[in-house]
Amino acid sequence: MRRIAFLFLAAASLLDVALGATRPRYGGTLRVMLQSAPNSLELLADGTPVDYWDAARILAMLADNLVEIDGAGHAQPALALTWQSDLNGKRWQFTLRRGVKFHDGSAASAAAIAQILGERHSDWTVRGAGDSLTIESDSPMSSLLAELALPRNTILKRTANALPVGTGAFRVTDFQSGKLLKLAANEESWAGRPFVDAVEVELGRSQRDQAIALELGKTDLIEVSPQATAANGTQRVRTSLSVELMALVFPANSKAQDVRVREALSFAIDRKPIQSVLLKGAGEPTASILPNWMTGYSRVFPAQANLQRAKVVLTDSRQPALTLSYDPRDPQAQLIAERIALNAREIGITLQVLLSGIADVSLIRIVLPSSDPATSLREAARELGLQQPLIHGSSVDDLYQAERTLLDGHTVIPLFHLPVASAAGARVRNWQPGPTGNWNLSDVWLEADSR
Amino acid sequence: MGWLASFFLATAFIPSLVSASILGDAARQLAHRIASVTGPGAIALDITNRSSLDDKSVRELRSALEAQLRTEGVRTANADESMGSVQVTLSESIREYVWSAEIVIGSDERGVVLVSAPRAQAGAVPASAMPLLLRKSFLFTQQQPILDAALVEMSGGPRLLLLDASQVAVYRQQGGRWEQEASLTITHSRTFPRDLRGRLLLLRRDHLFDVHLPGTVCRSSATPPLTLACNDSDDPWPLTTDDGGVRAFFAPARNFFTGALSPGIGKVSNGPSFYSAAALPRSGYTLWTLAAVDGSIHMLDGMTDQVIRGAKWGSQLAAVHSSCGTGMQLLVSENGDPEQDSVRAFEIPDRDPVAVSSPAEFDGPIMVLWTDGSGNGAIAIVKRQDTGWYEAYRISISCGS
């Protein structure tokens, strides 16, 4: 049995509280504003990236996963302390942390966690006994740890009115659908009580409203556009690594059935000016699904426009008039779609930009949810409507070949990798959003109003 | 020729923070894979560095790659003398170095080969130069948070005891290095707070040391082989290194002392909640200085409680004996830039603190400052900003000019 992780000092990463020159202080209410206005506290199947981040950040306060993935992409203990798998990765065994309780006081036992995970994954056989949990599958699960660290695999139950009951640092005290979420510190948190007493999350607030509220000191933590310039003295902006992909996607019934048309369009799009002007320098132009920080090879996929090559590819092909839709909820999408239409016209392809709906090609933005590249590639394939990639091994070459295969048919044209950003007010201390866009609010503390 | 290239790879190609053998292997693999696509002959080789490797490393890599290609029958030449071109890009992901080679043979035949090599973990960085009055001696570094450290003389030579959340590790000096000799596990039934603090107090009445952690106390055996027995306990922690001094109750789920004292300071048995305290003996009484949770400094003489606000001191205080000045100084972590914290010595001749040293600077926040077992120095634990590792120092005071 291959030993994947050995007894790790479980508390270590959780106790790793970076301080300023003074120790963290307990108390106070952290005020947060988010854009999305959910009617339920869960990940939405058809949500936007903003919906995803907001739900993931809320769930991370309420619940834990079996493992976490750190900034370097390595699994770290959370509810599970140790784990090991058999040689082919079909059977995994986890040793769980003892004494952990859900917010309702019930034990987060192996049996309870097995039931939660088993209900979510019909293709897994999940068993729990004592402090041991096993997950089995008919097919190898080489990326199981990264999968278990995804927000969709947070370990939580639901109350009768569907509110989440987790093991996290905060518990729900009030939820007003689409408006307000109030959380209180979980005194029994297995990782130690969080420093703030409460968190109040105002939902459905536009980025502009959030920025004004932060400026006026009426909130502590907001989402900002990655284009926002940093720090005006009262706030600190933190930008993640690139964790979103903007791409063109051709559905199966697209009129662009000729691969040459799709390939030519990929050569014709001049990504750099769009990134410089419309995205105000945020993100990176790309022709790969996964960003370079995940794989190291994204530059092998050339992202430079090449009109000459595009025209050569189009030789002797029929060029139908196509429609291009964009998501109106995405503030930059319309201008980018119109610019792409201009690029297409230069090689003789007509793209009519539509507000939304069924089109021959869609401009979409998806989340790359894991720092584990194989997991993100699988998630991206699912979001983009591609076949699941076949990743034959764990080498960078295996990953490259799988991504190359996904892109070969040009049914997806990657355009930009984009970060997410957030800003905190001056009284927020030890705010260290993760490089992959996650927040860790349980280690945040608030400066006393007066000293 | 092959052994020569291997020798070169193993000895000359040593970029900063990177294992030569690991990258040497990767270079060898890359050359082999390029050669398997091109076959023997001449190629135009171009290398672009988009990684954190420095220029010197890239030059060495280029030499190494060319040498290894030659062993594979591939030589580098100008484009017009070549059968094709190879564009090597040195890149990196968050985990590893990734080197790609885009190979073009003839007019349009293009292949891509990739190899990777693990990125080295940033290692420990030695201590910086000493300032004049505060002498800081580097003791140890590790990735896990260090809560306290102590040097102790035992049979067979000095030992370094390191306290973290899960153990007291015992290190013995071997050939100029600390080698781990034993690990004494800390057991606890109560959940530790996030900002965990702990105290290692040496040379107790009938045993070697005590460990105080929130809600937990551990006692070592008296003689080797050392053992450690831990129990739930809300008993107060000693505030001084001697066994019979003032003790203070520590909030078991927080990171501070509650302010309740037993025995008290003179007539004062309840002070403010505080992070740290230091005692400065005076003729006839002891002046206690407390770094309170609200950021203020309290001075208690057993009768009065004088509050100083806006002192810009941090949360950490420790009293240290010296042969200079009044013979007892207060070491204080300063409340400045968290990326470069510092400790400075103060004396309190009357009731106002006076700085008596220049600051001893550290490359990260000072997480811990406890008076050491001898009383002649303090243990400082620093979390380096660049590596995230924890470093233990002993700070003492010398009477330099």
Q: Taking a C-beta distance cutoff of 8 angstroms, is the pair A25, A445 a contact?
A: yes
B28 and B174, same domain (yes or no): no
**A:B CB pairs within 8 Å:** 142
Q: ∠ at Cα A325 (A322, A326), nearest 5°?
A: 150
| Contact between chains at B194 and A292 (C-beta distance less than 8 A) | no
Domain ranges of chain A: 2-14+22-239+421-446, 244-418
Residue A249: both structure tokens together: 């996607």
**Do strands A412-418 and A244-249 pair parallel, antiparallel, or not at all (unpaired)?**
antiparallel
Cβ atoms A371, A334 nearer than 8 A:
no
**CA-based nearest residue in chain A for residue B339:** A20
Do the Cβ atoms of A3 and A141 come closer than 8 Å?
Answer: no
Q: Are residues B375 and B343 in the same domain?
A: yes
pLDDT of residue A114: 97
Cβ-based neighbour number of residue A53 at 10 Å: 26
B19, B156: one domain: no
Q: Which helix (H) or strand (E) covers residue B344, if one does?
A: strand B342-347
Q: Tell me what pLDDT residue B127 has.
A: 33
DSSP A252: T
User: Please, are residues A451 and B294 in contact by the beta-carbon 8 Å criterion?
Assistant: yes
Query: Cβ of A373 and B256 within 8 Å?
Result: no
Do B317 and B258 share a structural domain? Answer: yes
List pLDDT tens digits, range B230-241. Answer: 999 999 999 987
Residues 6+ apart with CB under 8 A from B344: B134, B331, B332, B334, B355, B357, B358, B359, B360
Q: Which residue of A has its CA nearest to B316?
A: A22
Average pLDDT over chain B reads: 84
The tens digit of pLDDT for each residue in B3-53 reads 333 333 333 333 344 556 667 788 888 999 998 888 888 999 999 888 878
Residue B127 lies in a domain: no
State the CATH number of the domain containing residue B153: 2.130.10
Q: What is the CATH number of the domain that holds B86?
A: 3.40.50
Asked whether the beta carbons of A89 and A4 are under 8 A apart, the reply is no
DSSP 8-state secondary structure symbol assigned to residue A130? T
- Closest by alpha carbon to A364, among A419, A321, A322, A326? A326
β-partners of residue A216 are none
Amino acid identity, position A242: S
Q: In 3D, which of A230, A231, A284 has the Cα closest to residue A419?
A: A284
What is the Cα Rg of chain B in Å? 29
- Taking CB atoms and an 8 Å limit, are A12 and B97 in contact across chains? no
Residue B123 lies in a domain: no
Which chain B residues touch A24 with a CB distance below 8 Å?
194-195, 255
B95 and B140 share one domain: no
Q: Are residues B291 and B148 in the same domain?
A: yes
* Closest CB from B192, B309, B365 relative to A21: B365
Same domain, B248 and B388: yes
Q: What CATH number does the domain located at A244-418 have?
A: 3.10.105.10
Residue type, B89: T
- Residues B355, B250, single domain; the answer is yes
B91 and B170 in a common domain = no
Looking at CA atoms only, how far is residue B27 from chain A in angstroms? 15
Give residue B337's pLDDT. 63
Instruction: Please list, in sequence order, all residues whose beta carbon lies within 8 angstroms of the beta carbon of residue A24, skipping any fewer than 6 positions away.
Output: A17, A195, A429, A430, A443, A445, B194, B195, B255
Q: Are the beta carbons of B191 and A192 closer than 8 angstroms?
A: yes
Distance CA B261, CA B108 (A): 82
Q: Is the pLDDT of residue B129 over 60?
A: no
Say whether both B314 and B206 belong to one domain: yes
How many residues can be counted in chain B?
Answer: 401
Q: Which of A6, A8, A15 to mutate to test the interface with B (most CBs of B within 10 A)?
A: A15
Show pLDDT as tens, one digit a residue, over chain A (451 residues): 333 333 222 323 333 333 335 789 999 999 999 999 999 999 988 889 999 999 999 999 999 999 998 877 889 999 999 999 998 899 999 999 999 999 999 999 999 999 999 999 999 999 999 999 999 999 999 999 999 999 999 999 999 989 999 999 999 999 999 999 999 999 999 999 999 999 999 999 999 999 999 999 999 999 998 876 544 444 588 889 999 999 999 999 999 999 999 999 999 999 999 999 999 889 999 999 999 999 999 999 999 999 999 999 988 878 789 999 999 888 889 999 999 999 999 999 999 998 867 899 999 999 999 999 999 999 999 999 999 999 988 899 999 999 999 999 999 999 999 999 999 998 999 888 888 888 989 999 998 764 3
Q: How many CA atoms lie within 13 A of A399 on its CB side?
A: 28
Torsion of CA A364, A370, A372, A374, to 10 degrees: -40
Total tally of structural domains belonging to chain B:
2
Residues of A in contact with B338 (CB under 8 A): 18-21
Residues from chain B that touch A293, judged by Cβ atoms under 8 A, are 93-94
Determine which of B89, B95, B384 to mutate to test the interface with A (most A C-beta atoms within 10 Å). B95
Query: From CA A67, how far away is CA A145, in angstroms rounded?
Result: 7
Domain-located, residue B125: no
Give the whole-angstrom CA distance, residue A210 versus residue A56: 19
Contact A103, A166 (CB under 8 A): yes
- Among B91, B118, B145, residue at a domain's last position: B118
Residue type, B331: L
Residue A339, pLDDT score = 96
Q: Which residue in A72, A63, A93, A73 sits closest to A81, CA to CA?
A: A93
Q: Quick one: which of A289, A278, A282 has its CA closest to A384?
A: A289
Q: What is the DSSP letter of A386?
A: P
Nearest to B264 by CA among B246, B241, B244: B246
Question: Which structural domain, as residue segments, surrounds residue B47?
Answer: 2-118
Superfamily of domain A2-14+22-239+421-446: Periplasmic binding protein-like II (3.40.190.10)
- The strand order across the sheet containing A351-354 reads A284-285, A412-418, A244-249, A361-367, A322-326, A351-354
Nearest-angstrom CA–CA distance, B111 and B128:
49
Please state the φ and ψ torsions of residue B281, each to the nearest 5 degrees: -65, 140
Closest-CA distance, A210 to chain B, in angstroms, reads 28
Could you tell me if B174 and B202 lie in one domain? yes
Optimal mutation site among A14, A23, A443, interface B, most CBs of chain B within 10 A: A23
**Cβ–Cβ below 8 Å for B116 and A395:** yes
Torsion angles phi and psi, residue A10, rounded to 5? -60, -40
Whether residue B345 is found in the same domain as residue B234: yes
Which of B94, B118, B142 is the endpoint of a domain? B118
Q: Is the ipTM of this complex over 0.85?
A: no
